[in-house]
Amino acid sequence: MEQKKTIIEYKDCIISNKNLTLPRFTMSFEESELVEIKSLGDEISSLFIRGISTLAPLEGKIFFNGNSYDPMDQEKILKLKRNLAYLGPLCALLSNRSLLENILLFRLWEEDLRKINPDKNFIADCEKAGISGFLYKRPEKTTEEIKCGAFLVREFLKNPKIVFMERPYLFTRGRLDRFLLEKLEKVSQTKVPIVYFSNSGFVPSLKVTHKIIIEKEKIEKIKVSNGSDV
């Protein structure tokens, strides 16, 4: 059997906030996985997926492409996050930048550029997401659907090595339902792992390969026999 490539590993990690501390865990995600998070409550699942996707609040070691990352080293963590897509309630846009600047911010920073000329694929994605006519407006001048569209375009523009989704149905307003599904199917075909938590509503129409079970004393990732419909 062909061994799957490990995309990211969390070693001896703890995730906590002011009200809640989750059990210490070691876990990795491999290519082609679709992982569903299950726990005793939404607050627990939300804290966990935010910790592993935004890398805060998280303590421990992270390994990506054979390199070790300390969550406290913000400069290195920012470079790592360039490879991670996160869709959830914590998605935010800078109020003093246009939607276009928000979407391209990672590339502008990483490549030390002042301006990027959008290519055909970028323009096509903006049209599919319904945001083409709003790219030069600031976020407060647009609707929630337009902002969600900008989040989707921004995160998938990274060509992420792993996709995290917290309550993905939040990003299925209007035409975004079809656009998100198209993007998920595309990344799945290229073996990009997807990790998600959803308490109700829209979830990917793909096969779950693993579940993460969060209990009081432990966090465990288990394989789902033959995969299952989500």
The model's pLDDT over 90-118, given as tens digits with 9 standing for 90+, comes to 888 999 999 998 998 876 555 554 566 67
Domain carrying residue 37: 6-229
* 206 or 116, which is more confident: 206
CATH of the domain at 125: 3.40.50.300
Tell me the C-alpha distance between 152 and 146, whole Å: 10
Closest CA to 194 of 223, 161, 172, 170: 161
Task: Round the average pLDDT of the chain to a whole number and report it.
Answer: 89
Residue 12 has pLDDT above 80, yes or no: yes
Q: What is the pLDDT of residue 203?
A: 64
Residue 229 has pLDDT above 60, yes or no: no
Does 120 fall in a domain?
yes
Does 159 fall in a domain?
yes
Q: What is the pLDDT of residue 106?
A: 72
Q: What is the pLDDT of residue 174?
A: 81
Does 179 fall in a domain?
yes
For range 156-174, the mean pLDDT: 91
- Angle of helix 120-129 relative to helix 144-157, nearest 10 degrees, comes to 150
pLDDT band at 43; cut points 50, 70, 90? very high
* 223 or 202, which is more confident: 223
Does 195 fall in a domain?
yes
Residue 154 has pLDDT above 60, yes or no: yes
Q: What is the pLDDT of residue 204?
A: 63
Does 158 fall in a domain?
yes
Does 224 fall in a domain?
yes
Q: What is the pLDDT of residue 105?
A: 80
Q: What is the pLDDT of residue 230?
A: 55
Tell me the C-alpha distance between 145 and 142, whole Å: 8
For range 16-27, the mean pLDDT: 95
Question: How many domains does the chain contain in total?
Answer: 1
Q: What is the pLDDT of residue 110?
A: 58
Does 1 fall in a domain?
no
pLDDT above 90 covers a percentage of the chain that reads 70
Backbone φ/ψ region at 87: left (φ over 0), alpha (ψ -120 to 50), beta: beta
Q: What is the pLDDT of residue 132?
A: 95
Q: What is the pLDDT of residue 41?
A: 94
| Structural contact between residues 159 and 5, judged by C-beta atoms closer than 8 angstroms | no
